Homo-oligomer: A and B are copies of this chain.
Amino acid sequence: MCQLLGMNCNVPTDICFSFAGFQARGGATDVHSDGWGIAFFEGRGTRVFLEPLASCSSPLAGVVRSYPIHSENVIAHIRKATQGVVALENTHPFMRELWGRYWIFAHNGHLPDFAPELDGSFTPVGDTDSERAFCWLLQNLRQRFASRPPSQAQLFETLHQLTLEVGALGAFNFLLSNGDCLFAHCSTRLSYIIRQAPFAVAHLSDQDLSIDFSDVTTPDDRVAVIATVPLTDNEAWTTMPSGSLWLFEEGAPVTHRLTVTAPQPPDA
């Protein structure tokens, strides 16, 4: 299994503090040493840093940690390979373009029996179940809305239906963003925290590092951080229920819906 980290903000914010804790889990404080990646949206553009190595000892991860890229939507991933060899093409997050916007996707889970028909509009480059699921999601979005992007409500509704379908086949925790908002699906494990005024001191769980967010924010800033396992040990993170899809926008969860259906009676 892998770990996910996401950030969604109402003003461009750097993720250096959270990434410092997350990076340590890639081979130092945890076992996810088969690659790491992080994608930053800056307006419509994206920057994606990928490396099929342990993040804890990666020189490039050190640069990302100390180089403050300001972004409203960030998705990061550290990998413990379950399907697909350790290689750059299997390193998350993955990127595609749809409707003239980049889409970024990272997955934590295992979908061994997910082998959908793909029509060639989005084709995996590597051989992970994760990239296959991403391609299938985008293919379905394009099929349903053709060349005209849907409203955010329609997009959430459609992703909910598609996530129900894939989620029934295995663990499907994911983060997905088109730069405007961030979708988070908790299949088995995902938490979030909203940081807003009054800001306080946060302390990482994975190393002895603190930050006083009141020193680096303005009163209107709002930041949502989403992670497989909470990154700090002195803040109250919200555990998302298993089987729930969330939409984060401007640093807050604006809607969420269950993606598990109630068990059916045997003869229904």
Binding site for B on A (CB under 8 A): 42-52, 59-60, 63, 67, 87-91, 95-102, 119-126, 142, 146-147
For the complex formed, measure the closest distance between the CB of A189 and the CB atoms of chain B, giving whole angstroms.
Answer: 27
Which chain B residues lie closer than 8 Å to A122 at the CB level?
97
Contact indicator A147/B119 (Cβ below 8 Å): yes
Q: How far is the CA of A123 from the CA of B95 in the complex (A)?
A: 14
Q: How far is the CA of A51 from the CA of B49 in the complex (A)?
A: 12
CB-nearest residue of chain B to A52: B45
Q: How far is the CA of A146 from the CA of B100 in the complex (A)?
A: 21
Which chain B residues lie closer than 8 Å to A125 at the CB level?
44-45, 97, 100-102
Contact indicator B44/A89 (Cβ below 8 Å): yes
Which chain B residues lie closer than 8 Å to A63 at the CB level?
59-60, 63
Known: A43-B87, A44-B87. 4 other contacts (CB 8 A): A45-B125, A47-B49, A63-B63, A100-B123
Which chain B residues lie closer than 8 Å to A101 at the CB level?
125
Contact indicator B126/A146 (Cβ below 8 Å): no
Contact indicator A88/B123 (Cβ below 8 Å): no
Q: How far is the CA of A25 from the CA of B50 in the complex (A)?
A: 26
CB-nearest residue of chain B to A122: B97
Which chain B residues lie closer than 8 Å to A97 at the CB level?
96, 122-123, 125
24 contacts between A and B (CB under 8 A): A42-B88, A43-B87, A44-B87, A44-B88, A44-B89, A44-B125, A44-B126, A45-B50, A45-B52, A45-B87, A45-B88, A45-B89, A45-B90, A45-B125, A46-B88, A47-B51, A48-B48, A60-B67, A95-B95, A97-B125, A99-B123, A100-B124, A102-B125, A120-B147
Q: How far is the CA of A2 from the CA of B215 in the complex (A)?
A: 41
Q: How far is the CA of A51 from the CA of B59 in the complex (A)?
A: 19
Q: How far is the CA of A99 from the CA of B124 in the complex (A)?
A: 9
Which chain B residues lie closer than 8 Å to A42 at the CB level?
88
With A99-B123, A100-B125 given, is the CB distance from A89 to B146 under 8 Å?
Answer: no
